[in-house]
Amino acid sequence: MDRELKIVINPEDAGIRLDKLISMKTEGLTRSAAEKLIDGGYATCNGKALNKSYRGAEGDCIFLLLPEPEKTDVEPEAIPLDIVYEDSDLLVVNKPKGMVVHPAAGNRTGTLVNALLAYCGDSLSGINGVIRPGIVHRIDKDTSGLLIVAKNDFAHQKLAAQIKAHSFTRIYEAVVHGNVKEDDGMVDAPIGRHPVNRKMMAVTEKNSRSAVTHYHVLARYEGFTHIQCRLETGRTHQIRVHMAYIGHPVAGDPVYGPKKPVPNLNGQCLHARVIGFVHPRDGRYIEITSDLPAYFTGFLAKLRQK
């Protein structure tokens, strides 16, 4: 059932943009979500629909209609989940390689979201919409490792703010082609859609966003280097694009790496190893580490034998 909120503008709120004001006054509602409600005509004053740039005066009374959440047509599936942390606000999942995070064309079943809907029921945040309930950030289908899921909009908003402020710890391990000469380095290069192949990302100045990856060499082998990567930003395919950009694509990457398959490796060797965040409810810093999976350790063992 739809519900209506009444917001009376007090002296300190006068002159604040409506989208910002609504997100401030409505727990768990992001500014972008507030903007969508305003654009849909759900915010009114004196019976007239307002626009997002409206700046109210002291004493104005704004009514905000919150529609009943849209029902998802994504089917829950009883797929086993490797849950490494859980409380009433969030959970951290160790995603296996090969699992898609959320449904899309060609992948309507077998996704992490299908599994989460079966495990959590209605207890997932709705900020990212009905297709991506609870999903705060993503990792690629063929990347294994840790991913955080929000159970409510309050937790989602707080976690998303940490990601935006670059205070959210995300450390990956990868095996890349070639000998990375420097023990430590940084790639600071903007990422956007590939100008020709729209399914790919690329380092580009056009329609791009800033992207920063810090890397550290863990071990060197014949033809390959085992590295650790810390994300300062979180762009689509960021590590894969950045490492390919500096001439060291991720081993087994079928999109950004060499077309010739790597022996003894089925798909890319990239694992989300560490995730760290301030708990949205109580302010504790939590850091979780995932063991390297068998495909990764097996490939390293083969490299050591060379």
25 DSSP 8-state letter:
H
What's at 81, amino acid-wise?
L
Helix count and strand count (H, E) for the chain: 6, 16
Q: Which helix (H) or strand (E) covers residue 161, if one does?
A: helix 153-164
Q: Of residues 140, 142, 153, 253, which has the active-site annotation?
A: 140
DSSP characters over 192-204 = EE-SS-TTSEEE-
Collect all residues with Cβ–Cβ distance below 8 Å to 284 and sequence separation of at least 6.
278
CA atoms of 137 and 163, how far apart (whole Å) = 9
Structure-block tokens of residue 255: 């999109």
DSSP characters over 219-230 = EEETTEEEEEEE
CA atoms of 213 and 215, how far apart (whole Å) = 7
Collect all residues with Cβ–Cβ distance below 8 Å to 253 and sequence separation of at least 6.
240, 244, 268, 270
The residues with which 288 forms a beta bridge, in sequence order, are 275
Active site residue 140: yes
Catalytic sites, residue numbers: 140
